[in-house]
Amino acid sequence: EAGVTQSPTHLIKTRGQQVTLRCSPISGHTSVYWYQQALGLGLQFLLWYDEGEERNRGNFPPRFSGRQFPNYSSELNVNALELEDSALYLCASSLGRTENQPQHFGDGTRLSIL
């Protein structure tokens, strides 16, 4: 069974640019989550999508946004990049909206802002 896949694996951008990260969930999973893992801060919850709808978002500014497609894959968009956006962006998926189902993670996209 293929796991969660994310692309690209690495990305270098400059301040003010925009970036799109992509995620394909495990087959059969309908919920997709995005997390930011910055150095020394641990994983911070960004967004949760289920059945094409945004269900919850963390304490991040509106320039962080995303969407989920009919095939349950997802994109995370970050506009007006800032230096502090440098981090590992992790996508996870789970079976539906059951609150206590484990989330399974991809290997992330490493974003560096110069």
Partner 1 sequence: EDQVTQSPEALRLQEGESSSLNCSYTVSGLRGLFWYRQDPGKGPEFLFTLYSAGEEKEKERLKATLTKKESFLHITAPKPEDSATYLCAAGSGANSKLTFGKGITLSVRP
33 binds partner 1 (CB under 8 A): yes
SS3 of residue 84 by DSSP: helix
Cα angle 55, 57, 62; round to 5: 120
Footprint on residues 51-70 left by partner 1 (CB under 8 A): 55-56, 58
Taking Cα atoms as reference points, which of 31, 32, 4, 14 lies closest to residue 78?
A: 14
**Using an 8 Å Cβ cutoff, are 77 and 35 in contact?**
no
90 binds partner 1 (CB under 8 A): yes
The one among 11, 38, 43, 95 contacting partner 1 by CB under 8 A: 43
The one among 26, 106, 111, 113 contacting partner 1 by CB under 8 A: 106
CB of 33 or CB of 81, closer to partner 1: 33
| Site residues (vs partner 1, CB under 8 A) | 4, 31, 33, 35, 40-45, 48, 50, 55-56, 58, 90, 92, 94, 97, 99-100, 102-108
